[in-house]
Amino acid sequence: MNLTRRNVMASMVAGAGAHLMLRQSSLAQGTPEATPQAIDPGDSALPTPGYALARVRTLADASQTQAAVFPSVMADFLPPTRAVEGYGGYVFALGDTNPATAITLTLLAGEASAEEAGAVAQDFVDGLDPRFAVETAEAGNGELLIYETTTRSAAEVPPSLYGCHFTMRVDVTSPGTDIMQDVYPIVRDGLTPEMAAMPGFLAYLWVKSGDIGTAINIWETAEQTAAGDQAVRDWIAANAIPETVGTPTVYSGTILFAELAGIA
């Protein structure tokens, strides 16, 4: 996908992932391990979200992301973001190919909530150590049109979805394609229920931003993720899916923390 297009999207997003850099206060706090046990689960009765913010950032090495950035995000960014009216969830995952990469997703009720969350994020950014500023490889925001989650109870899935697998696929539709008419209905009515019926399924989200469609999958194990990916390929091959521009941009990671309406 065109990098300029991603940069345009990045300028529209203020708060997804909280500009993953080391907060100055973390420098004096040591490097606690990134484990889920010390994390407040928050309010489990989250509202179903209608808007999504996503970011992908890579620091110099994995120790910065896991030992400093993640605890700082959980301690300093997430609590005030949770307090935003319309807050609907958050995911923090480490990249599979590069564990120094953080993939984050913030879910909100709508654009108004996103603007408020952006102000919270800016306050967080103002306290960050500039030595750990990094480029945003992928950033986007948009209307969350599909939000499908497992029918299993929270007690039947890993706490905070720790260790579960997260995949984000970003596609740009071809010129002349009406994403709402040509893509969204068949994904909603065909692919979504097929995946939801598969073992290990936890969540499927589909986000629209102009001519860009972003699909997010969460599965419990790597094997179930692979089976889900194959199901998507088979479904695309069997259906008349409009062509996209270039090669889809795909990010995959392992979740350190997630709280999502209907799951955790």
For the chain, the structural domain boundaries read 3-28+47-260
Quick one: tokens of 260?
């999502």
How many other C-beta atoms can be found within 10 angstroms of the C-beta atom of residue 153? 9
Contact (CB, 8 A) for 28 and 75: no
What pLDDT score does 236 carry?
85
CATH code of 3-28+47-260, in short, is: 3.30.70.100
Contact (CB, 8 A) for 157 and 202: yes
What pLDDT score does 19 carry?
36
Q: How confident is the model at residue 132 (pLDDT cuts 50, 70, 90)?
A: low
In tens, the pLDDT along 91-101 reads 999 999 999 99
Q: For residue 108, is pLDDT > 80? A: yes
What is the rounded distance in angstroms from the CA atom of residue 53 to the CA atom of residue 142?
7
What pLDDT score does 5 carry?
28
Contact (CB, 8 A) for 256 and 92: yes
Contact (CB, 8 A) for 91 and 16: no
What pLDDT score does 9 carry?
27
What is the rounded distance in angstroms from the CA atom of residue 64 to the CA atom of residue 83?
27
In tens, the pLDDT along 150-162 reads 999 888 999 999 9
In tens, the pLDDT along 187-244 reads 999 899 999 999 999 999 999 888 888 999 999 999 999 999 999 989 888 887 776 7
How many other C-beta atoms can be found within 10 angstroms of the C-beta atom of residue 86? 18
What is the rounded distance in angstroms from the CA atom of residue 201 to the CA atom of residue 182?
25
Q: For residue 42, is pLDDT > 60? A: no
Convert 179-204 to b/e letters by CB count within 10 Å (16 or more is b): beeebbeebeeebbebbeeeebbbbb
Q: How confident is the model at residue 182 (pLDDT cuts 50, 70, 90)?
A: confident
The percentage of residues in the chain with a pLDDT greater than 90, rounded to a whole number, is: 46
User: What is the H or E stretch that residue 222 is in?
Assistant: helix 222-238
Question: What's the first-to-final CA gap in the chain, in angstroms?
Answer: 32
The percentage of residues in the chain with a pLDDT greater than 70, rounded to a whole number, is: 80
Q: Which residue has the higher pLDDT, 245 or 208?
A: 208
Q: Which residue has the higher pLDDT, 250 or 14?
A: 250
Rg (CA), the chain: 17
pTM beyond 0.85, yes or no? no
What's the distance, CA 134 to chain centroid? 18
> Across the chain, what does the average pLDDT equal?
80
SS3 of 223, please?
Answer: helix
Contact (CB, 8 A) for 256 and 36: yes
What pLDDT score does 137 carry?
66
SS3 of 237, please?
Answer: helix
SS3 of 101, please?
Answer: strand
CA atoms within 13 A on the CB side of 205: 33
